[in-house]
Structure 1
Amino acid sequence: MTAGLVLGVDIGGTALRAALVRADGSSPFPLVDVPRGPDLRGQLAETADGLIGPAIAAGMPVTGAGIAVPGHLDPLTGLVSSAPGAEDLIGLDPRDIDLGPVHVTHVVNDANAALIGEWLHGAARGAHSALGVFVGTGVGGGLVAGGALFAGSSGTAGEVGHMPILPDGPRCPCGGRGCLQQLASGTAVARWYGERTGQPVAGAAAVAAAARAGDPLAREAFVRAGEWLGVGIATAVNLLNTEIVVVGGGMAAAWDLFGPRLTRTANRLTMPATAAACRIVPTALGRRAGVVGAALAPGPMPGALMKHGTGDEDDR
């Protein structure tokens, strides 16, 4: 385990989160959770300074930093080669990011980071196999198999958000059609609701507020998302036979609106013996999952573990 404090930074599609993290996953100071600004590098430096300065003044050493990015690092160069929602990171060597007195020791994909956080200190703690499904701006995923993070041959294992669920469905930026994230992400919930009300919608959080205020169309938007997520999770669990599925990301704040349908649908479509051996649970760490995972991910991380696709959790 990591000695001292490690700065964990989770760069999302619309938010930036950071915290100083102990080896047990706890933090001596509150989580920084702010909207991403136009000057990402400057914001990172300012955020790091605001956390590291008080820690050093209090006599708490900070030994390094880990960063979660919503994209893919080239396994040969180590440079960010794609970053949906964070295009200003493309071409960047994350180890060159200036975080003041500490150095970036490792970088990991954001969905992998969130699963690592849940696996080490959250809902999937101690699991031999686990699938993470992180629903926010998009739908990201990660996979633990055999007691270790499994990335696959090109680093994209666990990418549940890009499973084709509806072959003639909406086009996805990945180049496919009908991907799960086009049907069940926070963005998809807001889009579906907005199309039917004819009103602009700020995001899934606004739809959730309307649903809790009694709007039946808003509730239907979340039930539909839960149905599609249940289909996707059943497909993945039938293939992978994991012992737990952790559902996190920004949409997890509305678990009461979509979780029951998700669970019922997944259990109905999963083979009985497989379903009996698998629990589907919401995140235990919430918005801290990616930060904890970024800080405590095994490092330095090889390029093969840096995968494409964001589960960014920011659509609240």
Structure 2
Amino acid sequence: MTRASLELSSEQRNPAYLTFRDVGQVFHTKRGPFEALKDINLQVAQGEFICVIGHSGCGKSTLLNMVSGFLQPSSGSVTLANVPIDRPGPDRMVVFQNYSLLPWKTVEQNVALAVKAARPELDAAARASVIDHHLEMVGLLEARHKRPAQISGGMRQRVAIARALAVRPDVLVLDEPFGALDAITKEELQEELLAIWRENKPTVLMITHDIDEALFLADRVVMMTNGPSATIGEIMTVPFERPRSFEAIQDDPRYGQLRNHALDFLYRRYAHDVD
């Protein structure tokens, strides 16, 4: 498997939508400047699902913070539809690993708060319809009146995903959303996420440490080198047709090739003593 074949990407067939151009990030610390990212160049097509993998400290979260508008690059630019990203906005919604739900609000109220803020043009009936639709998609209609403390971790993450997608964002930013969940719940939510994504096809940028998860979900997998001065080491195109079955792609001989290539990148070429 050649690098050229790994890098055949949808950006060659579709115009760039989300673009990182010569991006660098330097943080000023008590010990002096720390270069977290260097020479990041990436073009993401509209509706593309990108997973970013790499060891701890490789700048994955820094990349996502730039897309979310929480952080500005020290050099270069991050643009969405050719417009520089300079602040957070409802066109980019974030799902964190820790759910970030308001504990005193019910499931329904957590989703409603986001919809009301981001889509003020909706009247009460239309807003209620949007909320119901997205709660139904994640299987939480019966839990709508419960508070976060009354539901499981997997259900809380479903609320966070429903809340983010109910806003109809152009870009969905996922920061290891399934990292704290057990294997069975994680697999269920991966399936649900793909089903929901297919409905509106937002552009997705997702951090994960799980190679199997990345190969199941993504159109392309962006593999980061180690920090400091981390950059994009390789980009793997995932060739499996959609909709996907995890069992089916595991039976495909290309799955083993891609998985082994990613493992070689992470644990031989860019091995990390502490992860």
TM over 0.5: no
**Structure 1 or 2: larger strand share?**
2
